[in-house]
Structure 1
Amino acid sequence: MLSLKLPPLATIDQVPEVFQERGILFGYRQPQSTAAACLLSLFQMTNETLNIWTHLLPFWFFTWRFVAELAGTDVWNDSYSWPLLVYMATSCVYPLASSCAHTFSSMSTNARHICYFLDYGAVNLFSLGSAIAYSAYVFPDALMCSTFHNSYVALAVLNTSLSTGLSCYSRFLEVQRPRLSKMIRLLAFAYPYAWDSLPIFYRLFLLPEDGVQSEATLYHQKQTALTLLATFFYSAHLPECLAPGHFDYIGHSHQLFHVCVVMATHMQMEAILLDKATRRDGLLAAAPLLTLPQLAGALLLCLLLSLTNILYFSAALYRTPRPGPPPHAKDS
């Protein structure tokens, strides 16, 4: 009879420093886990289990939304819907990449870093997908066909490369300079988000709307608020730093961060769908549509630049001398 044995868990002083999380004392997986053990941990309560499921389940939800939209669209003839389909496809990529990164990050130190390099690349691909959708459906009328609008997607592609590079680099500072590492990573994700959101900020603060667009604007407001809340949880390590050991499995900041990010994406998607539906005639009259070569070129360039960053920093992991194990880990 086949039986599966769940691997034993470790405490914070039994794992290398690079695996340790502030305020999380128990529930660590073994730092040299096999791929099979990592997969089994999806069904074992560890301090990563809900990190995995809070993005794995939304992946299936966003995939369902994407497939439903794809089935209802004449893909070859409805070029107005192409930016939406690009955005919805990228919204499926980042939660899947995140859940895989959290699943397999305990295989080794280098595997942990590479998993999160891929995660950062997926987040930035989603950032570009958001910029493409915003350019097509969300830009306020006053900014349509402006220099800002015309260069918006091109600079969003550049932002993805810089953001992926910065966030990957930040992992090399995690042990020696953890605060600087966190600050660089926050900056790496904050400034592409700020760039992408400039049309939203213009609509929310400089161009108040009413009538049929007010519902979309409300969703944009909710998305902005949830993103700020996600940023707070990501940077503050609350509540686990207030009560170390009490939120190791349920309720720690990274789980709350995941939930806020997913809810923000849901609100963003609803806002984009409303803008696409209610502003169609005005948008088609105001500016030319993004062409298929433009969309494909932006996505392929983003992928090329991100993968170049990921390969470069992955290779750097094997060139960088490894620090010796901490004293408490030598006897474990």
Structure 2
Amino acid sequence: MNSNLESYRFEDFLLDESFQRWSLSTAEKSEREFWSEYYLTHQEQHEAMDRAKVSIQQMNRTEPEVDASHIEAAWEQVDEMTSSPVVRMRPITWMSIAASVAIMIVASYLYLRDTAPTYVSYQTGYGQVSNVTLPDGTEVTLNANSRIKVEEGWSDLDSRKVLLEKGEAFFEVTKTADKKPFHVISDEVTVTVLGTEFNVKSGKSATQVMLREGKINLSYRGVERIMKPGELANVDKANSSLTVSEVEVRQYDSWLERKLVFANTPLSEVAILIQDHYGVAVELSDELKDRRLSGEIPNKNLELLLKALKVTHDLEISHDKNIVTINQSRHKP
């Protein structure tokens, strides 16, 4: 089985023999279990997998058998009803049409695959922070559970583009001699710069851009905004709104030093941060959801973070396998 499945697109799944067997329910148990598990854990590829599965099933649909004597009887009835001879054409079967269409689809996708841009991906796991140097010298720091894609061949392109597919990344953009613009794209948000330092975070409910140094142009659904250092742009995905406000920069870039800075932050937001960063489920008692935290705590690993939260904010915290439970401390001084 191909080890590079995460880069698969529609046409790759379509041509993969193991995936074909799974789609047609003819795979062995090990293959069935593999693809079922892969489908559950790779939601970002659901659209491509679903389309490929439907196409494979349609191309392998069998036609009902028709008795030859019935066909001959039908032609005789037509001959009797017409005054001129009827030329009997060989019927074009559904499968022959489907096969022709399939060939055209695959050929088109293979052409697009060969001519489409090629990307290099950089990704971090849960609890991992990594530094990446891009071809132009730009430094990117990826927060935990984050992924960016960079188009190859920047020297031959009119601009430099980075796709933030998930998570959070901090950019220290290098100015080039030819002043090529630098674009960071996350969902429908595009950040354009020449040389500056900024942070982009792509979450489930919002995309945030924080400018630490320099100047950037932010574009969202036809609305453009020039941002100044110390400003945070927040794009709410639910109501498609863009707001810009002044913030304390330290609160948004402290993760670069493996620290977290809270400023009247709801504990419910801290729980989401822990889930996204470390890939664990956080169970928070109702009485604590609106409690707010302030201060700075280390974030080098999950256990250190939980210990610091427990001590500095008087909480009862337990960690069992992949579940973190946070309750109000019952300690009485």
Task: Quickly name the TM-score band, shorter chain normalised.
Answer: under 0.3
Q: Give the TM-score normalised by the residue count of structure 1.
A: 0.22
Q: Say which structure, 1 or 2, has more relative contact order (CA 8 Å, 6+ apart).
A: 1
Question: Larger C-alpha radius of gyration, 1 or 2?
Answer: 2
Q: Give the TM-score normalised by the residue count of structure 2.
A: 0.22
| Bigger proportion of residues as strand | 2
